[in-house]
Amino acid sequence: MAMRTKISTPVAQCVHGFECSWLIFLTLPAWFSWNPLLPYFASVLLLILGLSIAIKRSPQSHYGDKLILIGPVFVGMPMALFGIDHYLNPSGIGRIIPSWIPLHSFWVYLVGTCLILGGVSILVQIYAELSAALFGVMLLCFEVLMNIPAVVGFSHNRLIWALALRELSFSCGALSFAMTGTELWRRNGAHWLISVCRSILGLILIVFGVWYSLHPELLPGVPLRQLTPDFIPGRLLWGYLTSLVYVIGGLFLLINKSARAVATWIGLYILFSVIMFCIPYMFQYGSDVQKGLNVPLDTLMLCGSVLCLAGSQPKGSARLVGTA
């Protein structure tokens, strides 16, 4: 009887907790909406969770390595948030899927679930490399199924190109991180796929940099359609600075010169852009997740992708970001 009580008590507590949560949900006023409250709440919670775990596992690292080690957090947290968005806006996301693919709702919820589970897996560092590998492959599938046909059909549309290159950069970062868990990387400190990802990401940064030189009014980070807010001093100068950082950094990555240090500095600059430009932009459109929260999430994932690439590169003798 005692053994029975020990087993049933936790189960009963879980059931009771679920019932209480469900009752709270039912008693919410009719005007209440989980969108945008849930994404903002989840973003803060997941970011704190991921950072706390990453920092605890790198107590003796110097500042540059700490920044690299938290890079996967900046990939996992946006992943989970994008997955939540699949549940909050299934019809809007379903319209992106090509018409010849059946069961749009099924794929929206399946991808959303995979993004949430994969993002949390990376944050808590359980099967993180596997989740990153699957995420990178999934993005490559999106490139083939949606982005490349869109680029072919609208080849003169810069935004279509930017969206395709954005997701390709995310894939390169995720795959770079995933390859650090392979035996080949542990043995040799290198992997052929990491070299491919480094070259592609370098080219993407160069293209982004050229676009910022032509359109310095664009919000620093990922050059989509958002403009730097007027209240930010020297708004055009930040666009030219972003162009300079991306072009020079991309060239260094392309020729594999001090790749780890250069990628770390680029990641640091992109993180600076998230804090100084993207978050203020988000506050302007706080009630609209598509206009607000997705902007810093996009840029934060680019930051994480570059830092994941940095973490996959062999360590050099110079420490450019802080000292132990």
Cα gap 90→109, rounded to integer Å: 7
What is the per-residue pLDDT for 135?
A: 96
Q: Which two tokens stand for residue 76?
A: 């996992």
Residue 164 lies in a domain: yes
148, HSE (Cβ side, Cα atoms, 13 Å): 8
Q: pLDDT tens for residues 224-249?
A: 999 998 889 988 999 999 999 999 99
Measured CA distances, 133 to 22, 130, 141 (Å): 35, 5, 12
Q: Which of 151, 147, 200 is nearest to 173 (CA)?
A: 200
Q: How far apart are the first and last CA of the chain?
A: 57
Q: What is the mean pLDDT of residues 120-135?
A: 95
Residue 25 lies in a domain: no
Q: Please tell me which residue, 275 or 23, carries the higher pLDDT value.
A: 275
Lowest-confidence segment of 60-69, 150-159, 196-205, 257-266 by average pLDDT: 60-69
Q: Which of 143, 170, 9 is nearest to 77 (CA)?
A: 170
Residue 175 lies in a domain: yes
pLDDT level of residue 128 (50, 70, 90 thresholds): very high
Q: Which two tokens stand for residue 181?
A: 């868990």
Is the Cβ–Cβ distance between 218 and 212 less than 8 Å? yes
Q: Which two tokens stand for residue 96?
A: 């992106």
Q: Please tell me which residue, 65 or 324, carries the higher pLDDT value.
A: 65
Residue 296 lies in a domain: yes
Residue 150 lies in a domain: yes
User: What is the maximal distance between C-alpha atoms in the chain?
Assistant: 76
Neighbours of 217 (CB within 10 A): 13
Residue 198 lies in a domain: yes
Instruction: Return the exposure string of 81-104: e unless at least 16 CB atoms fall within 10 Å of the residue's CB, then b.
Output: bbbbbbbbeeeebbeebeeeeeeb
Residue numbers of the domain that contains 73: 35-312
Residue 26 lies in a domain: no
pLDDT greater than 90 at residue 277: yes
Mean pLDDT over the full length of the chain: 85
φ, ψ for residue 264, nearest 5 deg:
-65, -45
Beta-strand ranges (E) seen in 213-316 are none
Cα gap 253→206, rounded to integer Å: 10
Q: pLDDT tens for residues 40-95?
A: 888 899 999 999 998 887 766 677 778 899 999 999 999 999 999 999 888 888 88
Residue 15 lies in a domain: no
pLDDT level of residue 35 (50, 70, 90 thresholds): low
Question: Helix, strand, coil: what percent of the chain each, to 5?
Answer: 75, 0, 25
**Domains in the chain, number:** 1
**With a threshold of 0.95, does the pTM exceed it?**
no
- Residue for token pair 């973490």: 311
DSSP states of 220-240 as a string?
SSS-SS-B--TTSTTHHHHHH
- Residue for token pair 């492959």: 137
Q: Which two tokens stand for residue 59?
A: 């107590």
pLDDT greater than 50 at residue 129: yes
